[in-house]
């Protein structure tokens, strides 16, 4: 490389976390990567962050995104957090394989974290190697971008590099680093870390920081910490409603994997379900089904209760009064969730107005889908055709169509009570019901090609489709169809 022709990419860092939260992290450095190679750079996101994508699409970019080269102004650090994992409390988790480089203010004036994931051991690594393997890095890249394209709040991938080092899991695998962008990496578990140590001043400091960063509007409330809790609960209610409507299953909804900002984070054994089945679990480690599809709303509620506990000393000097206020607020989670979920589901079946019988109507459809094992994504997508009078494509997803036809009769009667032009309605439905999700067999295919054959072509093709999930492309039926019947249920692995 000719050093004279290289523009060194500038990051406009403004590291408020490092500056104002001393004691919440350990300053740290990345482990060196032997021969970093840039596999994927998210040009659109780079531009949004005010970064020079062309300059980063280079060996220098590979050096930066592997952790070998720290850009000017970075304050690399590992954050402390705790967490309830599968219901059991771990007082010390923290960034065991991640480094926060810092924050940039993006072109929309939003503050965004830039984090490396897989950059080596830290004081929080416990028994782990601090590394990430290529498959999980690409999985997180793909899932985050798919969710973003579906309009769901999420962390996003800026870059994926291979390190040139081998990572040992069950087999030796190529090592990789994901560069992740987030509204922040503050988790429910970050609050729990300090609550477990009875550090009330630190909890207040963290809450004040989180309020300033994510919910500045609550500062004027009569009880700002209670209003903060309500704001987090509200953001999570909206988030989980989105997940449910696209059939997304996070897989490890531990409190350390739940953000304060309301973004989806930590894509591990997550997956989209094909056949609509409330009990669906993909994760090999979730043997009890704690994080099954239908359990996600109550689990979010449970996680929020853990957050509420940490806020008791902040909300009122009288602990009993504090518990009462927080409990009352938490009680509103399920109705907030139901409201978000129903208004979105209404739109998915083409309704523009609300009527009392709508909940019953959408539940009727879901029950019929469950009974028939119909594909979640395709049923909703094909309802736009059915709304135009062509039911065949939807009907076929139900096998024996009697129940669906009966439901469709009620639905048509309901549609007719709205004065919306059919074409306009169908178009609107196709803007909310995706044709492409990251289907499990396609994800596996793409990751296998990348890991086993160093071939990124299938990954890039899938990424392209799920990044434009509403635009049907002729000849890509393979990507919109459920997996061919398999004798073994699909399983995902944490892949840490
Ligand atoms: P996760 O299951 O990815 O949400 O991670 C849970 C905790 O384990 C976090 O504290 C991680 O930093 C830590 N962890 C996961 N994988 C590794 C690894 N390979 N090395 C060190 N720490 C890890
Ligand atoms: Mg995690």
Give the pLDDT confidence of 157-214 residue by residue, as tens digits. 999 999 999 999 999 999 999 999 999 999 999 999 999 999 999 999 999 999 999 9
Q: Which ligand is nearest to the CA of 95?
A: 1
Three-state SS for 345?
helix
Q: What pLDDT is recorded for position 493?
A: 74
Q: How confident is the model at residue 3 (pLDDT cuts 50, 70, 90)?
A: very low
Of 394, 148, 194, 397, the C-alpha closest to 307 is 194
Which of the listed residues 97, 99, 116 should we mutate to test ligand 1's pocket, taking the one with most ligand atoms within 8 A of CB? 97
Distance 303 CA to ligand 2 centre (A): 14
C-alpha distances out from residue 422 to 20, 240, 487, Å: 55, 30, 41
Gyration radius of the chain's alpha carbons? 23
Three-state SS for 283?
strand
* First-to-last C-alpha distance (Å) of the chain: 34
Other Cβ atoms within 10 Å of 489 Cβ, number:
8
Tens of pLDDT, residues 356-372: 999 999 999 999 999 99
Average pLDDT, the chain: 96
Tens of pLDDT, residues 16-70: 999 999 999 999 999 999 999 999 999 999 999 999 999 999 999 999 999 999 9
Q: What pLDDT is recorded for position 6?
A: 59
Share of the chain above pLDDT 90, in %: 95
Output helix, strand, coil percentages for the chain, rounded to the nearest 5: 45, 15, 40
Distance 314 CA to ligand 2 centre (A): 26
- Is any ligand 1 atom within 6 A of the Cβ of residue 469? no
- 256 carries an active-site annotation: yes
Q: What pLDDT is recorded for position 8?
A: 81
Share of the chain above pLDDT 70, in %: 97
- Is any ligand 1 atom within 6 A of the Cβ of residue 94? yes
Task: Average the pLDDT over 88-98 and give the result.
Answer: 98
Q: What pLDDT is recorded for position 490?
A: 77
Q: What pLDDT is recorded for position 200?
A: 98
Tens of pLDDT, residues 404-429: 999 999 999 999 999 999 999 999 99
Of 442, 425, 433, the C-alpha closest to 394 is 433
- Map tokens 């089945």 to a residue: 277
- Map tokens 């990789």 to a residue: 176
Tens of pLDDT, residues 461-473: 999 999 999 999 9
Sign of CA dihedral 218, 219, 222, 225: positive
Give the Cα separation of 328 and 348 in Å (integer). Answer: 31
- Pick the residue whose CA is nearest to atom 13 on ligand 1: 96
Give the Cα separation of 222 and 307 in Å (integer). Answer: 20
- Is any ligand 1 atom within 6 A of the Cβ of residue 269? no
**Could you tell me how many residues make up the chain?**
496
Report strand pairing: 271-272 vs 156-168: unpaired
Q: What pLDDT is recorded for position 483?
A: 83
Say whether pLDDT at 150 is over 80.
Answer: yes
Distance 192 CA to ligand 1 centre (A): 17
Distance 108 CA to ligand 1 centre (A): 32
Q: For ligand 1, what atom is nearest to the CA of residue 127?
A: 21
Q: What pLDDT is recorded for position 486?
A: 67
Q: For ligand 1, what atom is nearest to the CA of residue 122?
A: 21
Say whether pLDDT at 456 is over 80.
Answer: yes
Distance 266 CA to ligand 2 centre (A): 5
Kindly write down the DSSP assignment for every residue of 126-182, as one continuous string.
TTS-SBEEHHHHHHHHHHHHHHHHTT--B-EEEEEEEEEEEEESSSEEEEEEEEEEE
Task: Average the pLDDT over 208-226 and give the result.
Answer: 98
Tens of pLDDT, residues 324-360: 999 999 999 999 999 999 999 999 999 999 999 999 9
- Pick the residue whose CA is nearest to atom 22 on ligand 1: 96
Q: Which ligand is nearest to the CA of 251?
A: 1
Give the Cα separation of 36 and 38 in Å (integer). Answer: 7
- Is any ligand 1 atom within 6 A of the Cβ of residue 129? yes
- Is any ligand 1 atom within 6 A of the Cβ of residue 250? no
Q: What pLDDT is recorded for position 26?
A: 98
Say whether pLDDT at 318 is over 80.
Answer: yes
- Pick the residue whose CA is nearest to atom 12 on ligand 1: 96
Q: For ligand 1, what atom is nearest to the CA of residue 94?
A: 10
Residues within 5 Å of ion ligand 2 by Cβ? 257, 266
Tens of pLDDT, residues 263-307: 999 999 999 999 999 999 999 999 999 999 999 999 999 999 999
Say whether pLDDT at 1 is over 60.
Answer: no
Say whether pLDDT at 2 is over 70.
Answer: no
What would the two tokens of residue 428 be?
Answer: 């609107």
Residue 470 CB partners (closer than 8 Å, separation 6+): 430, 431, 432, 433, 434, 435
Give the Cα separation of 41 and 63 in Å (integer). Answer: 13
The active-site residue out of 256, 286, 375, 430 is 256
Distance 266 CA to ligand 1 centre (A): 10
């Amino acid at each position: 490389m000719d050093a004279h022709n290289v523009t060194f990419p500038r990051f406009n860092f403004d590291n408020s976390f490092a500056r104002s939260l001393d004691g919440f992290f350990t300053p740290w450095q990345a482990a060196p990567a032997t021969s970093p190679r840039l596999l994927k750079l998210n040009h659109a996101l780079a531009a949004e962050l005010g970064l020079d994508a062309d300059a980063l699409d280079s060996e220098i970019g590979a050096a930066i995104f592997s952790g070998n080269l720290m850009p000017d102004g970075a304050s690399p650090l590992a954050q402390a957090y705790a967490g309830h994992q599968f219901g059991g409390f771990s007082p010390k988790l923290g960034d065991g394989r991640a480094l926060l480089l810092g924050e940039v203010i993006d072109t929309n004036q939003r503050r965004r974290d830039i984090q490396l994931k897989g950059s080596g051991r830290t004081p929080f690594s416990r028994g782990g190697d601090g590394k990430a393997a290529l498959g999980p890095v690409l999985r997180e890249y793909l899932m985050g971008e798919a969710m973003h394209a579906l309009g769901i709040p999420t962390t996003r991938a800026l870059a994926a590099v291979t390190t040139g080092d081998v990572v040992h899991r069950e087999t030796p695998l190529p090592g990789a680093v994901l560069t992740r962008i987030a509204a922040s990496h503050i988790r429910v578990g970050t609050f729990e870390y300090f609550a477990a140590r009875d550090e009330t001043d630190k909890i207040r400091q963290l809450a004040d920081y989180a309020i300033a960063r994510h919910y500045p509007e609550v500062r004027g409330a009569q009880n700002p910490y209670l209003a903060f809790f309500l704001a987090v609960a509200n953001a999570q209610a909206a988030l989980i409603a989105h997940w449910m409507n696209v059939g997304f299953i996070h897989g490890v909804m531990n409190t350390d994997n739940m953000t304060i900002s309301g973004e989806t984070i930590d894509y591990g054994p997550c997956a989209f379900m094909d056949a609509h089945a409330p009990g669906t679990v993909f994760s090999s480690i979730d043997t009890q089904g704690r994080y099954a599809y239908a359990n996600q709303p109550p689990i979010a509620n449970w996680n929020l209760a853990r957050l509420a506990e940490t806020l008791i000393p902040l909300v009122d000097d009288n602990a009993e009064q504090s518990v009462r206020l927080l409990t009352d607020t938490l009680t509103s989670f399920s109705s907030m969730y139901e409201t978000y979920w129903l208004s979105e589901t209404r739109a998915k079946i083409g309704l523009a107005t609300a009527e009392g019988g709508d909940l019953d109507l959408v539940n009727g459809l879901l029950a019929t889908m469950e009974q028939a094992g119909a594909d979640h994504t395709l049923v909703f997508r094909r309802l736009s055709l059915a709304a135009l009078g062509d039911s065949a494509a939807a009907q076929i997803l139900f096998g024996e169509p009697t129940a669906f036809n009966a439901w469709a009769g009620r639905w048509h009667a309901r549609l007719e009570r709205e004065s919306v032009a059919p074409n306009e309605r169908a178009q609107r439905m196709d803007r909310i019901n995706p044709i492409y999700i990251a289907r499990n067999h396609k994800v596996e295919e793409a990751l296998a090609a990348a890991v086993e054959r160093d071939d990124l072509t299938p990954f890039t093709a899938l990424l392209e489709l799920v990044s434009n999930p509403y635009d049907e492309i002729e000849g890509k039926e393979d990507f919109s169809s459920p997996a061919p019947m398999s004798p073994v249920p699909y399983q995902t692995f944490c892949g840490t």
